[in-house]
Amino acid sequence: MRALQFDRFGSPDVIVLRDVAKPEPGPGRIRIAVRACGLTPADWHVVDGLLADRLPPLPRGLGLEVAGTVDALGEGVTGVRIGDRVFGPAAFDGPTAGAAEYALMPAWAHIPEGVTSEQAAALPMAAETAWRALDDLGVRPGELLLVHGAGSTVGEAAVRFALHRGIRVIATAGPTRAAALEGIGARVVAYGPGMSERVGALVEGRVDRALDTAPTGGRIDRADRPGPAGGSLPTLIELTGDPDRVLTVSDFAAAAELGVRITTEIRYDRMDEFARLAGEGVLVVPVARTYPLDRIREAAELSRSGHPGGKLVLVP
């Protein structure tokens, strides 16, 4: 099968498209014929050597979330059959991962009717992170939540889940997703200088809690345009009045300095709930562009620009 693989750490330039053996599913895992593989900022961290000491030796594969058709079942797997359409996280502890013609999955759910493979492959990481972040932040129905960086896929999923939970939402986003976020019921302002005043103009008093979903907290927007120290977290603290009412999914260094909460423990035990919400149209992660495997360089460049404008999806 064809797969994207790397056998040294570094920039996306180390990634190569190769013909390799199909992976075999061990106990509790399934193998799928991959129809679509979502790219995430975490891919570039893994390629750069994150988790290097916790995973088996190189080579390793690219791609952490997938959708496709079940092709083989590992020992002990129940509740799914060959030919079923599923989506979820890809196993990435072997020589290949999700960006391949076949991939192993440690967890999955059935793709609901009316959802394409590309749309399904865009869901797992954004949905899991957003759900967990809202839970860890402890935001309750009726409260006013500020989602900063809601133009990111995690941010948009958080806005959608929050509104569905009966939470009122103000979102900060650039022009690409602003109208879509307003369309689902968030009040939207631009991020960047003056954000505090723009949010302040919409609320009496404070916002109850704030969730930072901007890549690196907006700390470094682009290498040539570094943001303020601590990114937007000081503004989010000011708007809530308490660092304990702020959670970031990305800017862990600033969070440690400022006493802001973080969330890091990925868990994929809610895939059926995400499938149900996707089927009902509550959970949608916009797909910005699709690419064949051999255009990974182009996809990586847009992904790493900080402004992909939605999910980038590889289609083997």
- Given the rule CB under 6 A, which residues bind ligand NAP? 40-42, 125-126, 129, 149, 151-154, 173-174, 176-177, 191, 213-216, 218, 221, 249-250, 263-264, 266, 306-309
The residue among 3 and 236 lying less far from ligand NAP, judged by its C-beta, is 236
Cβ 186 to ligand NAP, closest distance in Å? Answer: 12
The residue among 17 and 146 lying less far from ligand NAP, judged by its C-beta, is 146
The residue among 116 and 263 lying less far from ligand NAP, judged by its C-beta, is 263
Cβ 277 to ligand NAP, closest distance in Å? Answer: 17
Determine the residue with CB nearest ligand NAP: 151
The residue among 70 and 277 lying less far from ligand NAP, judged by its C-beta, is 277
Contact assessment for residue 63 and residue 15, using Cβ atoms and an 8 Å cutoff: no
Cβ 139 to ligand NAP, closest distance in Å? Answer: 16
The residue among 46 and 91 lying less far from ligand NAP, judged by its C-beta, is 46
The residue among 85 and 219 lying less far from ligand NAP, judged by its C-beta, is 219
Of 137, 144, 126, nearest to 246 by C-alpha is 137
Contacts 24+ apart (CB under 8 A), 73-81: 73/25, 73/30, 73/31, 74/25, 74/26, 74/27, 74/28, 74/29, 74/30, 74/31, 75/26, 75/27, 75/28, 76/27, 76/28, 77/25, 77/28, 77/29, 77/30, 80/30, 80/108, 80/110
Cβ 25 to ligand NAP, closest distance in Å? Answer: 25
The residue among 200 and 306 lying less far from ligand NAP, judged by its C-beta, is 306
Cβ 40 to ligand NAP, closest distance in Å? Answer: 5
Cβ 177 to ligand NAP, closest distance in Å? Answer: 6
Contact assessment for residue 184 and residue 157, using Cβ atoms and an 8 Å cutoff: no
Which residue reads 């002990």 in tokens?
A: 76
**CA end-to-end distance (rounded Å), the chain:** 10
Cβ 138 to ligand NAP, closest distance in Å? Answer: 16
